[in-house]
Homo-oligomer: A and B are copies of this chain.
């Protein structure tokens, strides 16, 4: 969010190339499934594809640099906790590095030992929670067999996780989500993952027959994510609806019902 002047525009295209090709992976990924044909072979292929997708997402490396001492690991955690509190309280742009350092009980220069800029820090803060969400979802989704159930759970859990971690959600949904995409950060890939899961399940939904096959799956994803995110954002801002868990469930069920309505006509 801060600093240096004339990067921009190009930036979205620069960065670690090894990850830039991810979008393509997904294409190939899904194409494979579709090429197989109908029948039961699909079911097992699909199942393993689903598992490996979640596997990959859950095991996404957190950070490149790993701290050697226990003390340092504690410090890193303290910085992240402090940053979350301060960012959520003051907003990223109004937050000062000095405040975060003080909140973490360290000096400003020590903080710079861990993060090279405020922007860098801001993009790292939401990561651990996002990883936790995926893990939590992975565990809960194990019992669900159909894509419909999995998608429903995913949307419901998204809203509920935001309710449980309001500071984090505020930071992610109100400050970072849209703008993070312009730069090629680790966080961006995690958010891309978030979308990929839904896209996967939508395409599965077509195979299962409850999503209209003639609709653009990306458009469908936009409807699903858009609706749920809008609900979360409204709650974060106004604490309305009061019961986000119930509203999230209602929204998720409604959206899925809407998709089903498109088929049976």
Identify the A interface with B (CB < 8 A): 1-9, 12, 89-94, 96, 99, 119, 173-175, 177-179, 181-182, 215-216, 218-219, 222-223, 225-231, 233-234, 237, 240-241, 247, 250-251, 254-255, 257-258, 261-262, 265
Contact = CB atoms under 8 A, between A and B. Distances in A.
A89 B8 contact: yes
Nearest to A265: B261
Contacts of A262: 257-258, 261
A90 B222 contact: no
Contacts of A234: 218, 222
Q: Is the interface of A mostly helix, strand, loop or mixed?
A: helix
A152 to B, nearest CB: 16
Each complex incorporates copies of this chain amounting to: 2
A182 B178 contact: no
A24 B262 CA distance: 36
A223 B228 CA distance: 8
Nearest to A119: B93
Given A230-B229, A265-B261, A2 B219 contact: no
A45 B140 CA distance: 51
Q: Which of A8, A177, A223, A240 has the most CB of B within 10 A?
A: A223
Nearest to A118: B93
A26 to B, nearest CB: 13
Contacts of A90: 5-8
17 contacts: A1-B91, A5-B96, A7-B90, A8-B91, A9-B89, A12-B237, A93-B119, A174-B179, A175-B178, A177-B178, A219-B231, A222-B230, A222-B234, A223-B230, A223-B254, A229-B230, A258-B261
A215 B253 CA distance: 12
Contact of A8 (B94, B181, B231): B94
Nearest to A90: B8
B251 A222 contact: yes
Nearest to A234: B222
Contacts of A179: 91, 174-175
A185 to B, nearest CB: 13
A257 B215 CA distance: 13
A121 B140 CA distance: 46
A223 B234 CA distance: 12
B215 A254 contact: yes
A247 B9 CA distance: 24
Given A173-B178, A178-B233, A257-B262, 6 more contacts: A2-B93, A7-B90, A174-B181, A222-B227, A223-B255, A225-B230
